[in-house]
């Protein structure tokens, strides 16, 4: 007996290949979403009145965005996804990226010193 072959539409086949190829991009965007929220806060801090008196410099601009992304990504991992204020908190942390890093540096150093008091 002859088996009937199932025909699939070109849209289904094309959709399969597109979805398989975009999975890494989707995973990357999911991973980076909280960092982008932090960058948005960092970008807002550049337009805050205290920051506008400075002369624009590309290195400073990119540096602030990278630091804000880092702070947003790190903080976003500690804030529960179900928290309704999560996006706002991450953007605020990106806005205050440098002070947040200063506090984290002090806290982490003291925590490490408790575990290895004989350090350099």
Residues 68-82, mean pLDDT to the nearest whole number: 92
Give the number of other Cβ atoms within 10 Å of residue 82's Cβ. 6
Paired tokens of 93: 């942390």
pTM (predicted TM-score): 0.69
Q: Are 45 and 67 in contact (CB under 8 A)?
A: no
Calculate the alpha carbon distances from 4 to 7, 8, 11, 37, 91 in Å: 9, 13, 21, 52, 57
Residue 5: predicted pLDDT = 53
Burial class (CB in 10 A: 0-12, 13-18, 19+), 79: middle
The tokens of 45 are what? 């801090």
pLDDT per residue as tens digits for the range 5-50: 555 555 555 555 566 667 788 888 888 899 999 999 999 988 887 6
pLDDT at site 56: 75
Give the DSSP per-residue string, 16-67. Answer: HHHHHHHHHHHHHHHHHHHHHHHHHHHHHHHTSHHHHTSPP-HHHHHHHHHH
The reported pLDDT for the residue numbered 72 is 93
């Amino acid at each position: 007996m002859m088996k009937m072959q199932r025909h699939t539409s070109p849209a289904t086949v094309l959709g399969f290949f597109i979805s398989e190829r975009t999975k890494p991009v989707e995973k990357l965007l999911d991973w980076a979403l909280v960092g982008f929220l932090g960058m948005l806060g960092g970008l807002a801090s550049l337009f805050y009145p205290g920051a506008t008196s400075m002369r624009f410099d590309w290195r400073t601009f990119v540096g602030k965005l990278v630091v804000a992304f880092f702070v947003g990504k790190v903080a976003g991992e500690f804030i529960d996804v179900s928290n309704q204020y999560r996006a706002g908190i991450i953007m605020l942390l990106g806005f205050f990226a440098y002070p947040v890093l200063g506090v984290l540096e002090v806290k982490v150093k003291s925590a490490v010193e408790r575990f290895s008091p004989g350090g350099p």
